[in-house]
Structure 1
Amino acid sequence: MACYNSHQYLVGKEAVCLTHDPWTIDTLHITLRLVLSLLFGGLIGIEREQSSHAAGLRTHMLVCLGSTLVMLLSMYGFSEFSKLDNVRLDPARLAAQVISGIGFLGAGTILYTGKSITGLTTAASLWVVAAIGLATGAGFYYAAALSCVFALISLFVLNLVEKKYLRAKKLRHIQLKALDTPSLIGKVSALLANKGSVIQKLSVEEIPSEEEDLIQITLTLRLAKGDNVSQTVEDLMRLDGVRSVSCD
């Protein structure tokens, strides 16, 4: 097959004529794809930032931007070598490394605290943002935009639904102010375990005080079936060293 005013490429066993060189791109489209990647990553990052997660706005924007740049580099960065007869370019090679490499960054956002694991959703959002960046870099705009919309629905809308209908009636947030004694957290955990409640999150902070060494313990609890918040608060108040207990 002879191609006039076009380029001939071998696809499978057939020669295909293209009116443009697939290994070249103008600066306008490079700018468009990089700007879109910042937009898509930023939209998902804003939701994570508002929820005070480890990976927020800047992290998601950088991941998406970096993925787009790698995709552009993989597709167009080696265009000079495409003219050589003994060189075959694979645009998906660098992109595949992004998909596997993003797992290291996602693992850094996953935290294990007691019996609770947090950060899985943020890690998943980073993986999705990387994929959106690759799609944007490849010029797959519709899929990138639609994936961004679906990700926002999953992170924001479904989170509201989950809080309202699935977790709102089960999880309780309790704060204790107490003396800083070595056995206090163990006593709190044992008391709640005996009642059948499960600690989802636990954090401890020091409270500045000149008179006593006080700490604030913040608990996120999944109460046992049939248990009541007021009774749990009263039981915690009876523990030695506890000064006050509040419940959201």
Structure 2
Amino acid sequence: MTELLMKLSIALFFGLLIGIDRQLKHKPLGLKTSMVICVASCLVTIVSVESFHRFATPMFNNMDPMRLAAQIVSGVGFLGAGVILRKRNDVISGLTTAAMIWAASGLGIAVGAGFYIEAGYMVVLLMLAINVFPQLVKKVGPSSLRQRDVAVKMVMEPNMRMTELIQSIERKTSMAKKGSDIRIRHLKLKDLENGNQQVELILSAPEKQYTTEIYYLIKKIDHVLTVDVEHL
């Protein structure tokens, strides 16, 4: 029993490491999703292996008690895929929800096979993975883990000083709060039919910085006509 619980804990830890790496690189797969997938996969594997020893008999030692349960995992995967959405600005949402749906199927399999303690322990780990560990890692980890993405769309008057304007955006937003580190992660320029220019930015900003602050700072920059700011 202790060994099985230790396996679940190790899976959670390894999922945490993968999630930190992905989040540092601003990838859709973050802390919560990685931990949920690792723990759920570990539980389903434990149930599959242990069920053979528990339910197999000398007469039917080649039985596969988890064959039907495996189809449950595959079927629930379609439900999880339905909650994953791709928004504008190439933002993907719903990964953690999809992972939780898949993990819930693993819990049902574990309870159905009689692994009550393991299933209960996994519920505790899942709650920690969703509500506790991400906040803890953000407090003690690198500052980039405490940043969020902000999408900015601007319409500007025609000018030949676009590079200076982009530098001005970084300089002004960085001055919004002392010590804040705001970086432009993505830049897209587009000419409009009326001669104006459209600029789309993805900014990496501190979590504590209000989106309205970024809006008003960019609004004050010369040649900026309209500003559309969205917290991703």
TM-score range, shorter chain: 0.3 to 0.5
- Give the TM-score normalised by the residue count of structure 1: 0.40
From the two aligned structures, give the one with the greater helix fraction: 2
- Give the TM-score normalised by the residue count of structure 2: 0.42
- Which structure has the higher relative contact order (CA within 8 Å, separation 6+)? 2
